[in-house]
């Protein structure tokens, strides 16, 4: 891909995490590959991704179903508890999950590197790590708390849906899980506020020579329409923190199920 005309100005070597940690040594991967920045943590992420994908394809080939939707890497059987499992009885899942986890962390640190190079805030890697927390809880922390890797979900398109369905019924009725309800509320609110923000910008941009007039028309519309406008900075804060709320509720939703609460219907009738 061709570089953007202003890109050369920002592509400067140095100021990486690797340098800060190792103490001044040059980051050996401090370069770009096409549009991608690589960096030491990009290298780590690529190694973990390639290793994980190779193991994944090896296991799928052994299991025999190459269908894109049905190909499946199941978690270990219950008898292996928190130990290592044979390759085709959950060992492949353990390797792939480990590689994915390493690559997620490396990816976050690579985002930190890019933020440092661009001298911007660290909001994106922070949000990214919050999203990764859902993966950590589903695949690592909750299985640890439950004492069995078998609690993790299948790495597959259709059987991870089956896992979600079965896990909902295992704790009787997931809709009675209050954190699930708060998380769903957060997802719906997020989508609604997203539509409102997109409509505001798409509805007003390039309608007046003065962008300040466009921006004031956004504010005055929302005041007329719903009585309040958060402003063009505030709307991004609102969206950001709605997602933070939603992710925290999602984490609580799945972590409490099975560890603290066995039955979400009985949860509401404690006595």
Partner 1 sequence: MATFIPAAHEPLEDAEPSHLDVADPLGIRVGKATRWEFLRNLKVDTQVGTIWLGTWGAASTAFFLAGLLVFFLAGMDQTGGSLFLLIKYFGNINLAPPDGLGLARSLRGGGYWQIVLGFWALSTIFWAGRCIERLIRHKWRPFLVFAWLSAIFLTACIWVFHPLLVGTWSDAPALGLNSDLQWAQNFSVLWGNLYYNPWHQLAIFFLFGSAMLWGMHGATILATSSEASHHEDAEIKNMTSGSQKAILFWRWTMGFNAFPKSIHDWLWWFAVGVVLASGIGILSTGVVTNNWYAWAVDHGTVAQYGPMTRSAINQRPRPMPPELLAPSGYMPAAGK
Considering only residues 47 to 76 of the shown chain, the ones binding partner 1 according to CB under 8 A are 65, 67, 69-70, 72
224 makes contact with partner 1 (CB under 8 A): yes
Residue 38's SS3 state is: coil
270 makes contact with partner 1 (CB under 8 A): no
CA dist 161 and 159 (Å) reads 5
Closest to 63 in 3D by CA, of 88, 85, 80 = 88
Q: Which stretch binds partner 1 (CB under 8 A): 15-23, 50-58, 81-89, 112-120?
A: 112-120
- Among residues 106, 132, 137, 200, the one that binds partner 1 under rule CB under 8 A: 200
- Among residues 14, 28, 83, 203, the one that binds partner 1 under rule CB under 8 A: 203
Residue with tokens 């980051």: 27
CA dist 219 and 233 (Å) reads 12
CA distances, 43 to each of 104, 105, 172, 185 (Å): 12, 12, 44, 39
- Among residues 201, 260, 262, 266, the one that binds partner 1 under rule CB under 8 A: 201
Q: How many residues bind partner 1 (CB under 8 A)?
A: 98
Query: Toward partner 1, which CB reaches closer, 125 or 152?
Result: 125
Query: Toward partner 1, which CB reaches closer, 22 or 161?
Result: 161
Angle (nearest 5°) at CA 213 between 208 and 218: 100
- Among residues 12, 78, 170, 205, the one that binds partner 1 under rule CB under 8 A: 205
Closest to 59 in 3D by CA, of 103, 90, 37, 28 = 90
Q: Which stretch binds partner 1 (CB under 8 A): 15-23, 50-58, 79-87, 109-117?
A: 109-117
CA dist 17 and 22 (Å) reads 8
221 makes contact with partner 1 (CB under 8 A): yes
- Which residues within the stretch 135-154 sit at the binding site for partner 1 (CB under 8 A)? none
């Amino acid at each position: 891909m061709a570089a953007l005309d202003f890109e050369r100005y920002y592509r400067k070597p140095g100021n990486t995490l690797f340098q800060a940690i190792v103490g001044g040594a040059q980051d050996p991967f401090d370069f770009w590959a096409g549009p991608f920045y690589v960096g030491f943590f990009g290298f780590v992420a690529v190694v973990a991704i390639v290793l994980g994908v190779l193991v994944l394809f090896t296991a799928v080939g052994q299991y025999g179903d190459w269908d894109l939707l049905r190909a499946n890497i199941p978690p270990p059987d219950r008898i292996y508890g928190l130990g290592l499992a044979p390759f085709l009885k959950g060992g492949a899942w353990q390797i792939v999950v480990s590689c994915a986890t390493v690559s997620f962390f490396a990816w976050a640190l690579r985002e930190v590197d890019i933020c440092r190079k661009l001298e911007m805030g660290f909001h994106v890697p922070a949000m990214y790590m919050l999203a990764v927390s859902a993966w950590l809880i589903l695949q690592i922390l909750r299985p640890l708390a439950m004492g069995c890797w078998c609690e993790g979900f299948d790495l597959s398109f259709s059987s991870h849906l089956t896992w979600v369905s079965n896990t909902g019924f295992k704790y009787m009725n997931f809709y009675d899980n209050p954190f699930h309800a708060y998380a769903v509320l957060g997802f719906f609110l997020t989508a609604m506020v997203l539509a409102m923000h997109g409509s505001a910008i798409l509805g007003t941009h390039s309608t007046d020579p003065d962008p300040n007039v466009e921006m004031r028309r956004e504010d005055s519309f929302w005041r007329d329409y719903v009585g309040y406008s958060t402003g063009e900075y505030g709307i991004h804060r609102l969206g950001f923190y709605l997602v933070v709320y939603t992710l925290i509720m999602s984490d609580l939703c799945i972590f409490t199920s099975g560890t603290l609460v066995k039955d979400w219907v009985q949860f509401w009738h404690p006595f």
